[in-house]
Chains A and B, each alone.
Chain A
Amino acid sequence: MNLMGENIVTEDGEFIINMGPQHPSTHGVLHLKIWLDGETIKRVQPHLGYIHRSIEKMSENLSYRNFIFATSRMDYLSAHINNEACALCVEKGLQIEATPRAQAIRILMGELTRLSSHQLWWGCTGLDLGAVTPFFYAFREREAIMEIMEETCGARLTQNYMVPGGVMYDIHPNFQKRVKDVMKQVKDNLHEYYDILTGNVIFENRTKGVGYLSAEDAISYGCSGPTARASGVSCDIRKWFPYDGYEKVQFEEILDTGGDCYARYMVRMREMSQSVSIIEQLIDNIPEGDFQAKTKNVIKLPKGEFYQRVETARGELGVYIVSDGAASPYRIKYRSPNFSNLSALDHMARGSKIGDLVAIMATIDLVIPDIDR
């Protein structure tokens, strides 16, 4: 293990330890500088920028059709939802709406993505806490979903399926049947997730009371998604500012008041069931029609600013496009959910132990490329 950075022993007897950027349990290249007093954490300082690719600057030279696909690489576990946000923002500028069929397909793909992202999160949470087996059980269902994506969209991870106006191709003829089979498999196996990890005494001891985040702090730090909902903050964009037909779908916003790691864990587990129920509502009711609304070949947004918010698997993603009438955006800003969730890490981890820090990072569910963009 290469100890990077200074090894400063401060006067109080603290010492500094580096965690990352190559570390099995920071989910991506995250470099944390931890001030330790024995086993207790005094301060955590993240160092970012190891995967900064300047997507925002790059997008200023791409056309309005192309810049969408750079966002698949941001939060790659919710690639569909990122693309959907960009496509919706462009549609807002053009003042068109996606066709009903496209909207239903977008919701289905978004919920499948959310489900597979939460499954990977569950497997990795078990892995970080030392239980190796949940990882394989999580990937069993995730593989099935990835194969469905591959059949329809052509890729497993960075699907590049959303375009302004709708989706790029129509769904594969096998799509509905396969999704129904997978949903049956997921529903049968979801109780296994609870059996293996949730009810385990050791797991509960490692997550209950750890990493408390109050509701006011969650709002002040800008946390969103399950991280904030576990502290009682209602922030599901699908309910607050519905898009793409989410107002017509029945689902619940999962809130919990615990504010600790266990609450964040339970919120995500219950969100998985909600995703399954949304998919089941729509899978037989996809409207017929066009899968793409007509747009010009070269899209030019009128002068102005457009902001679109969506709910990714990790929280609220905001796409802010400033246009001056050209064929490329003048300025794009991605308000990424992981960026704000990470800023609360220092607050949550002070006073706990290193093992707790691992548990907190596992339940916040960070994806680092989304932070660095």
Chain B
Amino acid sequence: MSKEELKASLTALLPTATFDETGEFLNVIVASGDMLPLMQTLRTNKEFDFNYLFCLTCIDWKDHLMMVYHLMSKELKHILVVKAKIADTVNPEIETVSGIWKTAIFHEREVYDLFGVKFLNHPDMRRLFLDEDWPGWPLRKNYVDENMIEI
């Protein structure tokens, strides 16, 4: 599907989604509560058939967190970027997509480790790189560590 067709189908699917077409891929921005049903449709619906999740990450925009999912379909060869906005920066939570794409199991553990986003219903919600008792979420912009040196 081309970008316009994708945009039209997604608007029909989820009227509250907003779009950002300035970049290379079509970005669709949804609220964090709407993310999981959208993802399930994107995976199971034969028109979309996004079976390859190739990047899962989070960006800290100081007043909100933005989860970014890069999706691709191996058969239909189109790419979509789904962004889910998490408004709560103190206790961020969102549903897990590891039931849909198994690669998300490790990626979401990494996001939890570095950003503190809790993924609900994740099979193994633990930190990945750092120790279990490490204080704080390192990749957040407000992370302070007494060992950090200002150069």
Whether the Cβ atoms of B55 and A221 lie closer than 8 Å is: no
Taking the nearest CB of chain A, how far is it from the CB of B35, in angstroms?
Answer: 18
Residues of chain A within 8 A of B54, CB atoms compared:
222, 224, 309, 316, 318, 335
Residues of chain A within 8 A of B114, CB atoms compared:
56
Known: A219-B52, A222-B52. Is A306-B24 also a contact (CB below 8 A)? yes
Whether the Cβ atoms of B103 and A49 lie closer than 8 Å is: no
Known: A221-B102, A343-B102. Is A49-B130 also a contact (CB below 8 A)? yes
Give A48 to B107 CA distance when docked, in angstroms: 13
Specify the chain B residue showing the minimal Cβ separation from A309.
B54
Taking the nearest CB of chain A, how far is it from the CB of B81, in angstroms?
Answer: 8
B92 proximal to A (CB < 8 A): no
Residues of chain A within 8 A of B52, CB atoms compared:
219, 222
Whether the Cβ atoms of A318 and B24 lie closer than 8 Å is: no
Give A1 to B138 CA distance when docked, in angstroms: 33
A328 proximal to B (CB < 8 A): no
Give A56 to B57 CA distance when docked, in angstroms: 12
Known: A219-B74, A222-B101. Is A343-B106 also a contact (CB below 8 A)? yes
Give A240 to B51 CA distance when docked, in angstroms: 16
Contact of A333 among B51, B57, B129 (CB under 8 A): B57
Give A342 to B55 CA distance when docked, in angstroms: 15
Residues of chain B within 8 A of A48, CB atoms compared:
128-129
A135 proximal to B (CB < 8 A): no
A158 proximal to B (CB < 8 A): no
Residues of chain A within 8 A of B103, CB atoms compared:
220-222, 340, 343
Known: A320-B57, A340-B106. Is A307-B24 also a contact (CB below 8 A)? yes
Residues of chain A within 8 A of B55, CB atoms compared:
307, 318, 320, 333, 335
A54 proximal to B (CB < 8 A): yes
Taking the nearest CB of chain B, how far is it from the CB of A48, in angstroms?
Answer: 6
Residues of chain A within 8 A of B27, CB atoms compared:
305
Specify the chain A residue showing the minimal Cβ separation from B106.
A343
Residues of chain A within 8 A of B138, CB atoms compared:
54, 57
Taking the nearest CB of chain A, how far is it from the CB of B45, in angstroms?
Answer: 17
Taking the nearest CB of chain A, how far is it from the CB of B84, in angstroms?
Answer: 15
Q: In A337-366, which residues have CB < 8 Å from any B CB?
A: 339-340, 342-343, 347
Taking the nearest CB of chain A, how far is it from the CB of B12, in angstroms?
Answer: 26
A156 proximal to B (CB < 8 A): no
B22 proximal to A (CB < 8 A): yes
Residues of chain B within 8 A of A92, CB atoms compared:
24
Q: Hey, which bits of chain A sit against chain B, CB under 8 A?
A: 48-49, 52, 54, 56-57, 92, 216-217, 219-222, 224, 233-235, 304-307, 309, 316, 318, 320, 322, 330-331, 333, 335, 339-340, 342-343, 347, 372
Give 4 nearest A-B pairs by CB, closest first. A222-B103, A49-B129, A52-B129, A333-B57
In addition to A217-B102, A331-B139, A342-B106, 5 A-B residue pairs with Cβ atoms within 8 Å of each other are: A222-B52, A222-B53, A305-B27, A316-B54, A318-B70
Instruction: Name 5 interchain pairs, CB-CB below 8 A, sorted by A.
Output: A92-B24, A220-B51, A305-B23, A339-B110, A342-B106
